[in-house]
Amino acid sequence: MTSELFIQYLLAGITYGSIYAIVAIGFNIIYNATGIINFAQGEFVMFGGMISISLLQFMPLPIAIALAVILTMLIGALIEICFIRWLKGPSVLRLIIITIGISILSREVAVHIWGESIRSLPYFVGNEITSIPVFGARISPQVLWVVAVSALMVVALGIFFKTTSVGREMRACASNRKAATLCGINTANMVTLSFILSAGMGALAGCVMSPITYSQYDMGTGLAIKGFTVAILGGLGSAGGAVAAGLLLGVIEAFSVSVVPLAFQDAIAITILLIILFIRPQGLFGSKEASALKEF
Amino acid sequence: MKRLLPVLPLLACVIGVQLLCSATDTLYYLTQMTMSAYYSLLIIALCVLMGYAGQISLGHAGFFAIGGYISAALTTHSLIPYGDNGLVKFLDSSGMLLSGQSLYGEELLVVSPGVACVVAVFTAAVIAVFIGIPVLKLKGHYLAMATLGFGIIIYRVVLAVEYFGEADGLSEVPAFPLFAGLSVSGNFVDRVQNYYIAWGVLLLGMILLLNLIDSRVGRGLRGVHGSEEAADAMGVNTSRYKLQTFVLSAVFAAVAGVFLTHYNGGIGTSEAGVMKSVRYVAIVAVGGMANLWGALLMGVVLNFLSLRGVFGSYDDAVFGLILIGIMLFAPNGILSISVRYHLLRLLGKNKQDDGKEA
């Protein structure tokens, strides 16, 4: 393998890896607030991409994206309020099945609105053939957008959780819900907020990745599985772990193309997930003590 | 014996439906009833796994596909090019191979359906053991995702491997002769016969599972569902019971896959799809997790409606809605006590009101 090809694969891996990391962080936000995995996480990404593509007919790109993100946040809030908020002490199995149901329903709504055709946003800068040379490899400027937006989101989220009072309240809710309630934090609202946040992150990721990966009504399932793999790999609930694991998985996948047929690319991520689950159920970077304290 | 009594009315219903269809000249309904029966076989086994052992599996379409695909591949791929191989010669001389002709008049030498069925089911069981040992240590979301991952790997494999027909699936699967002239096939003349074979298999499975859940194992499983730690402390070998149930349900799924593939004369990649697994889980949930009769009823009714195309292009949406609706409002299934309770209370209230008026 030449060094140019190596860098090319590496960059492709980082691009996909940062998308996986964002989806994984979306999982983590909701997981931290509620202790559940939102199987409909991938559908937020799909909604973000599809809505912005539809809105683009009426308005310039930045506004379309902003509006798509806000609309997806509303969808996230609606889902939480309609399907989760009023359940009293639901079992994990029940919540899994409900979020799976939401994911199916979202997909069906999408296919009846947008059809089965594959769409995409235009490239933010330049077009399909614009490329920037990097160490002898050539990448599309959109790749930089994806990586930059992902990095920005991670940093912004970190600042939000560390410094703002709402962020701190959400962290309190994550570490001990009952104690947070006793301190006067409205935990139910925090859960809604976590859905809004992760929907918004997913939607923004869906917009920036759309020019490269295209958007389709059923893109959510695959992304959700990758995102979940990454979340587990990095240890559920850990944002830093998610970023590291996301990049790792992206790079592994990118290089796997040169070894196994493309058709098995998905299977590789899942095989890694299964192996990790069997060997280290608490994730690569998760601590055993922390996972023992979780409810399941 | 007492617990088997409810099977008799079911048997009467099965015969009744056939007579009704024959009398009204609507035999075409029997085709979907046959297919529903095979799907229900998988569903009742999944019901025992989910409802009694408390383990979710989002990968049962994978086991169904393993059964169907292996049996289809063995009975359609001709072994003539490998005729000199020692193994093939041995199989041929021991009567495990069948020679025949393809649609285009080519000579075929394939594995006989009976042997293929045994191989397929055995493979599914072995895979279930190997997957089950590590997977069943997981709980909650991890278990759901691991089984989902297993299902996706199977889907990818049948989609990408040429031996399994890639995206086209496998077709021209021959009939599966059972005994006494009975054979599983999609011929129109055999429709009534196949209807009874399917329901016979389903009833047999039902009796087996009813016995199982009423046995020592069944009580142990319910203990596992309630609290694994407590069951462990009481001396129930929880991991072994869980694994046994998992393998049993995989075997049921594989048997359903084998029979349905021979009945349809082929199998496609959609049978291995994730949506199929989700649908099975949905139907079990609707029937009531720990309610075999509910699962059977819902399995037959919903599959029948879906196969008749009643839901049209909203098929998946309907299942999604059912899934959410049931989990939100009746988490113990549609036949659950809470629904019954509400109905009784409603009736009771009405009676009281009547009393007051009078």
Is pLDDT above 60 for B351?
A: no
Coil, helix or strand at residue B336: coil
Is pLDDT above 90 for A77?
A: yes
Is pLDDT above 50 for B354?
A: no
Residue B356 within any structural domain of the chain: no
Beta bridge partners of residue B183, listed in sequence order: B177
Residue B142 host element (H or E): helix B140-160
What value does the mean pLDDT of chain B take?
Answer: 81
pLDDT the model gives residue A1: 67
Residue B338 within any structural domain of the chain: no
Q: Which residues of A touch B323 (CB under 8 A)?
A: 97-98, 100-101, 104
Residue B284 within any structural domain of the chain: yes
The stretch A132-138 carries a mean pLDDT of 78
Return the top range by mean pLDDT from A53-67, B101-115, B217-231. Answer: A53-67
pLDDT the model gives residue B356: 42
Instruction: Give the start-end residues of each E strand in chain B.
Output: 97-101, 107-111, 170-171, 176-177, 183-184, 266-267
Inter-chain contact A281–B138, Cβ cutoff 8 Å?
yes
**Residue pair A26/A266 in contact by the 8 Å Cβ criterion:** no
Residue B127 host element (H or E): helix B113-135
Return the top range by mean pLDDT from A7-16, B78-87, B253-262, B267-276. Answer: B253-262
Inter-chain contact A273–B145, Cβ cutoff 8 Å?
yes
> For an interface test with B, which of A95, A96, A233, A253 has the most B Cβ atoms less than 10 Å from its Cβ?
A96
> For an interface test with A, which of B139, B145, B314 has the most A Cβ atoms less than 10 Å from its Cβ?
B145
pLDDT the model gives residue B61: 93
Residue B134 within any structural domain of the chain: yes
Torsion of CA A173, A178, A182, A187, to 10 degrees: 40
Inter-chain contact B149–A107, Cβ cutoff 8 Å?
no
Largest separation between any pair of C-alpha atoms in chain B: 91
How crowded is residue B153: how many other Cβ atoms within 10 Å of its Cβ? Answer: 20
Measure the CA–CA gap between A142 and A129, rounded to whole angstroms.
11
Inter-chain contact A296–B150, Cβ cutoff 8 Å?
no
Coil, helix or strand at residue B145: helix
How crowded is residue B280: how many other Cβ atoms within 10 Å of its Cβ? Answer: 28
Inter-chain contact B328–A97, Cβ cutoff 8 Å?
no
What size, in residues, is chain A? 296
Q: Which residues of A touch B316 (CB under 8 A)?
A: 104, 107-108
Helices B274-287 and A92-114 cross at an angle (nearest 10°) of 130
When CB atoms are compared, the residue of B139, B159, B321 closest to A296 is B139
**Residue pair B286/B322 in contact by the 8 Å Cβ criterion:** yes
Written in H, E and C, the secondary structure of chain A is CCHHHHHHHHHHHHHHHHHHHHHHHHHHHHHHHHCCCCCCHHHHHHHHHHHHHHHCCCCCHHHHHHHHHHHHHHHHHHHHHHHHCCCCCCCHHHHHHHHHHHHHHHHHHHHHHHCCCCECCCCCCCCCCCCEEECCEEECHHHHHHHHHHHHHHHHHHHHHHHCHHHHHHHHHHHCHHHHHHCCCCHHHHHHHHHHHHHHHHHHHHHHHHHHHCECCCHHHHHHHHHHHHHHHCCCCCHHHHHHHHHHHHHHHHHHCCCCCHHHHHHHHHHHHHHHHHHCCCCCCCCHHHHHHCCC
Return the residue of B nearest to A233 by Cα.
B142
Strand duo A137-139 + A132-134: pairing: antiparallel
* ipTM (interface pTM): 0.78
Phi and psi dihedrals of B170, rounded to 5?
-115, 140
Measure the CA–CA gap between B175 and B98, rounded to whole angstroms.
12
Q: Is A263 on the interface with B (CB under 8 A)?
A: yes
Q: Dihedral sign, CA of A158, A163, A167, A172?
A: positive
Q: Indicate the domain borders of chain A.
A: 8-220
Structurally, chain B folds into a number of domains equal to: 1
pLDDT the model gives residue B341: 67
Inter-chain contact B156–A97, Cβ cutoff 8 Å?
no
Residue B56 within any structural domain of the chain: yes
When CB atoms are compared, the residue of A91, A105, A266 closest to B321 is A105
Return the residue of A nearest to B273 by Cα.
A221
Is pLDDT above 90 for A87?
A: no
Counting Cα atoms < 13 Å in the Cβ hemisphere of A246 gives 31
Q: List CB contacts of A98: < 8 A, sequence separation 6 or more.
A: A83, A84, A90, B323, B324, B327, B328
pLDDT tens for residues A201-253? 999 999 998 988 888 888 888 888 888 888 888 877 778 888 888 999 999 88
When CB atoms are compared, the residue of B56, B134, B156 closest to A96 is B56
pLDDT tens for residues B233-269? 887 788 888 899 999 999 999 999 999 998 888 888 8
Domain membership of residue B268 as a residue range: 2-331
pLDDT the model gives residue A255: 86
How crowded is residue A292: how many other Cβ atoms within 10 Å of its Cβ? Answer: 8
A83 to chain B, closest Cα gap in Å = 7
Measure the CA–CA gap between B337 and B304, rounded to whole angstroms.
25
CB pairs under 8 A between A and B: 109
Helices (H) and strands (E) in chain B, counts: 14, 6
Q: Is A267 on the interface with B (CB under 8 A)?
A: yes
pLDDT the model gives residue B3: 66
- State the CATH number of the domain containing residue B134: 1.10.3470
| Residue B175 DSSP label | P
Is pLDDT above 60 for B46?
A: yes
Q: Which residues of B touch A92 (CB under 8 A)?
A: 140-141
Inter-chain contact A225–B139, Cβ cutoff 8 Å?
no
**Residue pair B288/B294 in contact by the 8 Å Cβ criterion:** yes
Residue B199 within any structural domain of the chain: yes
pLDDT the model gives residue B101: 65
Coil, helix or strand at residue B186: coil
When CB atoms are compared, the residue of B140, B152, B278 closest to A225 is B152
Q: List CB contacts of A259: < 8 A, sequence separation 6 or more.
A: none
**Residue pair B148/B59 in contact by the 8 Å Cβ criterion:** yes
Is pLDDT above 90 for A65?
A: yes
**Residue A260, Ramachandran bin (φ over 0: left; ψ between -120 and 50: alpha; else beta):** beta
Residue type, B208: L
**Residue pair A210/A52 in contact by the 8 Å Cβ criterion:** yes
C-alpha closest to that of B118 among B67, B169, B166: B67
Phi and psi dihedrals of A231, rounded to 5?
-60, -40
C-alpha closest to that of A104 among B275, B307, B60, B56: B275
Residue B321 within any structural domain of the chain: yes
Return the residue of B nearest to A229 by Cα.
B145
**Residue pair B223/B86 in contact by the 8 Å Cβ criterion:** no
Residue B46 host element (H or E): helix B28-47
pLDDT tens for residues B99-142? 766 666 666 777 888 888 999 999 999 999 998 988 888 877 78
pLDDT the model gives residue A290: 52
